[in-house]
Structure 1
């Protein structure tokens, strides 16, 4: 795998400059500087993928490469559960190459990957995925617990959602979670929420996009994450967040909030999918649901947003667009 910063990469691919900006609490700041039109931002979203190519992971990766080439993407967002079943065992774990480097091989995917952690990642050596050493193995990789990416027309807020979920602490189901860097949990969550709220209020971007592993609203197997509904959602609503993007449920879906302010987008079809597992608790707000493998593209400009969900064959299953507006009711 050639490094995307290598001069041999075609000029059509972007160059990135990361500027670390001082911050407090849990949220680190990055700036994404592309070498193309600053009035547009295109990126792919995939989640729940790390299975050494199995369960159609390789087929999804192939189609991601095709769409990335067609739409001139800036980067890829991973919504977590990057390595199944139990994360990585360390920075030398061969699963990193077998589930990431050796799978996403299209030249058009030689770009930055922004990754959040999922609950399965916390079952292994969670700090291995956060270790900068992995960038020497594959320079596309960047994973932090929580961080902000300032990118042209949008600010992207990546949130570490696993520590919010009570059951991982009270009834772990026989699994061992690596809580280094999280405990004491109450302080960790309070600091994170405080910093997220501050960063959202501070943002002047046309689009505010929040990414986490766990869904806030979902009609899939796991359904709504009540802890996020109670603790995170009010902050998003108060600060005019436009998109909340997640994985965890192994499906593709779009749900509108009751007032139309936030679109809840699930892209958790990177490998193993859960056929037939649909709940109706959000039935009145479900705009799209697909219980198979696939991924999503996001295109943002100062004037509009364009979302497309693709299946494992690269077929566009669902498209949605809306104008840039602070109004509560978006055009469908």
Structure 2
């Protein structure tokens, strides 16, 4: 058994790489601070924000290092961005199938990302997935220094999305490493070797305390929308089902501090679950069909009654799907859309103020 120690005796907001710079994109400026208590400042010139959210997009480890579905997703994103302003993308983990990357110089960065997703002027904000931990996850953090549009400054970080040239707060996004937070910290790589993350229950509790402190602080800052994003879902009806520790420890925080939505991947499908708890409704968004589709509803009876609002996965098609999010000071619209342009489903979230 291989024990992997990923610097877990430090607090949630601490990181090993220090980034402090400003990156200019076509319709936005990103400010990365050298202070991990300060969110990234993403200032958009427009009076709205538009972004894609997709997980489990990470190609394959053999030639051509991409799947047909991934290629179609990338082409669709490129075509949309030619016709309308897309300001950024959320990459929800499993960035490189099946065993992550070996180092910051790994060819997979080029062959499964840079050569596939063509828009150089649209930044990606990433989190890590379980497959990324089968390689060298810290190499993906280091790659933030190599690529202007690859943004992963730490295992956990946050983004303040501001509109009208940065004058108005719009969305606060908390990006969390659910692999470290969860009990699912043992994996088998392709050679069937077991890899284990050494995460103690005490340290997990510290992480959840950090999340609560962050959400409590943000609840006082009057962002119209608050999103938390992680690779593992809280609720799911599909192959993996609900993530128990997230149901037990993260879900109460999402509802207590009135988070609007929780975005996840891990399941290779599109799901929407809406759950009211502690007098607060959170929309649970799963968007993980950007590379390797999989259909399953085996955990349909393991989610709250009537919480499942939408499910889609078609393993016989090559289109794939993803979420397109459009938000202004009035509302946030989340559209599930296939890469042939067909709109599958839409969710509307009102400005909480």
Candidates 324, 328, 335, aligned match of 1:297: 324
| Aligned residue in 1 for 2:287 | 267
Which consecutive unaligned segments of at least 5 residues does structure 1 have?
327-332
| Shift of residue 71, structure 1, vs aligned partner | 4.0
| Aligned residue in 1 for 2:52 | 44
Single out whichever of 312-321 and 90-99 deviates more from structure 2. Answer: 312-321
| Aligned residue in 1 for 2:122 | 111
CA spacing shift, 1:94–1:22, aligned 2, 3 Å = closer
**Cα distance in 1 for residues equivalent to 2:263 and 2:291:** 17
| Aligned residue in 2 for 1:161 | 178
CA contact (8 A) 2:58 2:94 kept: yes
Matched, 1:141 2:150: yes
CA spacing shift, 1:17–1:178, aligned 2, 3 Å = farther
| Shift of residue 253, structure 1, vs aligned partner | 1.2
| Shift of residue 316, structure 1, vs aligned partner | 1.1
CA contact (8 A) 2:23 2:31 kept: no
| Aligned residue in 2 for 1:227 | 245
Deviations 1:43-78 (A, max 9, x none): 110110111221410001111122334441221001
| Aligned residue in 2 for 1:57 | 70
Q: Say which SS state the counterpart of residue 228 (structure 1) adopts.
A: helix
**Cα distance in 1 for residues equivalent to 2:227 and 2:83:** 23
| Shift of residue 184, structure 1, vs aligned partner | 4.8
Q: Say which SS state the counterpart of residue 31 (structure 2) adopts.
A: coil
Q: Kindly report which structure 2 residues correspond to 1:1-332, keeping only aligned pairs within 5 A, or say none.
A: 11=26, 13-23=27-37, 29-37=39-47, 40-51=48-59, 52-105=65-118, 107=119, 110-131=121-142, 133-136=143-146, 138-143=147-152, 144-152=154-162, 153-169=170-186, 174-177=192-195, 179=197, 183-203=198-218, 204=221, 205-259=223-277, 261-281=281-301, 282=303, 284-292=306-314, 293-325=320-352
**Cα distance in 2 for residues equivalent to 1:242 and 1:175:** 39
CA contact (8 A) 1:125 1:178 kept: no
**Cα distance in 2 for residues equivalent to 1:127 and 1:176:** 19
Q: Say which SS state the counterpart of residue 262 (structure 1) adopts.
A: strand
TM-score (structure 1 length as normaliser): 0.84
CA spacing shift, 1:200–1:175, aligned 2, 3 Å = farther
TM-score (structure 2 length as normaliser): 0.80
| Shift of residue 310, structure 1, vs aligned partner | 1.1
Deviations 1:273-326 (A, max 9, x none): 103555322362111111142110111222211010111323211112132237
Which consecutive unaligned segments of at least 5 residues does structure 2 have?
1-21, 60-64, 163-169, 315-319
**Cα distance in 2 for residues equivalent to 1:305 and 1:273:** 27
CA contact (8 A) 2:157 2:176 kept: yes
| Shift of residue 5, structure 1, vs aligned partner | 5.4
Q: Which of structure 1's runs of 4+ aligned residues deviate more than 6 A?
A: none
**Cα distance in 2 for residues equivalent to 1:148 and 1:226:** 24
Q: How many residues end up aligned between the 2 structures?
A: 305
Deviations 1:150-193 (A, max 9, x none): 11211000010012332434x758444474xxx55334423321
